[in-house]
Structure 1
């Protein structure tokens, strides 16, 4: 829909005011054709297999790479950002091996729920003011929010591939409003990373084969969240006590010195998720897991994958007192949990204790993947 310059100005003033009222920390506008380099970069990411088991990325590549393919009627894209910066360096918790480190973004309510309702309110005001139609997206549709945010001027994609803002560092949630209304686009931001490679050097698993390129298959966030199977052995020690996601590359960014801690209670960490004890998390059955993580994004991965992660952290803890709890999980109904418990016990028990346990347990195991875990761990022990 065509709008005059004065109408665009009034509409933009409305968008800015409503964004502030809704608690967003930044808002800017771009056009659907503003990310011409994104399709080739996305195609290269998929061709290299860097998306791992995230098949939905490859399946939606055309709509993801070109916003007007997703919705042909879109004329302007409003990108909104909400600061979720922590009040401390989250990497400090990695020294407390009896505790689980949860990524900052997941320490409270699911940000999709926090943001989507507010975006819909703003979108409704746009329609009431200018007519036309709108669509709202928060990370759950094939929309490349980060390139769009860069094109809109909210920040730039850093060498860790995440958005970096001069005002908020690397701690921003993004959402978009697609509208048929015509708005004057903002100027794109330029890259301010320079020669810095702090984020690349901070990655425990070397998930960045080159600046601005991420191999998700090596990323701890992918391994602990998207990966549905056992954690590959080469990454288990490097995961440390990270039980859901990883903030290392984000936290290492020097631009964070300009960021403020999130002001909203809905985005600040729940007290019981700041430094949860591994010993308590390991006791969660499915019902307790669902209750404890009600409203949290962690709930989406399910109890079995989460306990798998906690078991890897337990194996890295060096805390032999956890062996009793871990041993009880050898009888868990989930093969994924049983396999992770085997590895954890191989680290928590003496070689003799573990060998005696394995001698009887491996024959009783009827799952091929779990039996393979027993045999592999025994083989590793024999080598060392």
Structure 2
């Protein structure tokens, strides 16, 4: 905890630097900019350890490997004296859940429908950091999601919002639609008051989850979360969860979209990060035809590109299997010869859902014997 400074010159300098940061943040398109101390999340280590002990992080081994730095900003950078948290509203034009009514379309999470937000936000933060460092004569570091920083607890401590029952940040001004970024500095700044929880008895986000990924309010099990499974998880997705994916092929916005506070995001939204038209509701059929080169071209500059073509097409095949659309059968069948076992396995699963039982059994008789991968073999043998 920082001791209060009685020197008027020190107070004035803090006020000037803080005001300068907020002006720069607004100029760079950020909607929120508030400051907290590096020791403002003392509960974080215990909560993170509980999450890891329960193995709710799934295959994200990096969370265990970086837990000390993640739980305490001072471990990440011992010289930090102030943590500045930034928020940018990215509220969509309409409710992304409406796309579930179009089984021939694929649902890509709202945040991934344009340029990679890591690049967008980090570029703007670097501009702010450069100007601030020159003005303050202090050291700075900027982070956007990829570094071991617990951005949501820090944002809550700074007063941008509170962590809702879906574990994401909720703002009274912008609902659940906020990109977050942080600036660590050796400068002393004016500290803001943290936000209190305004969820009350509401459980809309919990009820909205298609896979029941919340063991309790304010807790998430990534192993059941569609966002984790479609983006972070490699290999086979448990067959019991696949039907709940619907047409979600990259991420899931349901718990965010259900938040009643989003009405304020809609009122305040400015068109800072416009979604690409071709990513708002792409045809599942067209996505099934993507080879590696076409995938890279389509998602150039997009966060989707990071998961690679094979994992992406795996996800699209799950959506195809859930679609109930027979015209997708030839496209799924063409992927039975794909070089990736993950793709072949999901092609088998999709066909088992789309084809009449007798036709699928006949296909199995002709194709199964030539399959060398154990996981794909298990898909052929799985009961319909």
What is the TM-score with the length of structure 2 in the denominator?
Answer: 0.97
Question: What's the offset of the Cα at 1:50?
Answer: 0.4
Q: 2:244 aligns with which of 238, 246, 249?
A: 238
Question: What's the offset of the Cα at 1:262?
Answer: 4.5
- Please show how residues 108-127 of structure 1 align to structure 2 within 5 Å: 108-127=114-133
State yes or no: 1:263 paired with 2:274: no
* Per-residue deviation, residues 138-180 of structure 1 (Å, max 9, x unmatched): 0010000000000000000000000000000000000000000
Q: Does the aligned pair in 2 maintain the 1:76–1:178 contact within 8 Å? A: yes
* Per-residue deviation, residues 58-91 of structure 1 (Å, max 9, x unmatched): 1000000000000000000000011110010000
State yes or no: 1:195 paired with 2:220: no
- Please show how residues 133-172 of structure 1 align to structure 2 within 5 Å: 133-172=139-178
Counterpart in the other structure of 1:17: 23
- Please show how residues 1-384 of structure 1 align to structure 2 within 5 Å: 4-260=10-266, 262-265=269-272, 267-376=273-382, 380-381=383-384
Runs of 4+ in 1 over 4 A off after TM superposition: none
Partner Cα separation in structure 2 for residue 307 and residue 263 of structure 1:
33
Partner Cα separation in structure 1 for residue 152 and residue 371 of structure 2:
46
Question: What's the offset of the Cα at 1:202?
Answer: 0.5
* Per-residue deviation, residues 2-61 of structure 1 (Å, max 9, x unmatched): 981000111111101100000001000000000011111000000000000000001000
Partner Cα separation in structure 2 for residue 16 and residue 364 of structure 1:
63
Consecutive unaligned residues of structure 2, counting only runs of 5 or more, are none
Q: Does the aligned pair in 2 maintain the 1:262–1:268 contact within 8 Å? A: no
Partner Cα separation in structure 2 for residue 283 and residue 95 of structure 1:
23
Q: Which secondary structure does the structure 1 equivalent of 2:181 belong to? A: strand
Consecutive unaligned residues of structure 1, counting only runs of 5 or more, are none
Aligned residues: 377
Aligned Cα root-mean-square deviation (Å): 1.2
Partner Cα separation in structure 2 for residue 206 and residue 268 of structure 1:
31
Question: What's the offset of the Cα at 1:372?
Answer: 1.4
Question: What's the offset of the Cα at 1:264?
Answer: 3.5
What is the TM-score with the length of structure 1 in the denominator?
Answer: 0.97
Partner Cα separation in structure 2 for residue 235 and residue 329 of structure 1:
22
Question: What's the offset of the Cα at 1:355?
Answer: 0.1
Question: What's the offset of the Cα at 1:263?
Answer: 2.4
Partner Cα separation in structure 2 for residue 126 and residue 259 of structure 1:
29
Q: Which secondary structure does the structure 1 equivalent of 2:296 belong to? A: helix
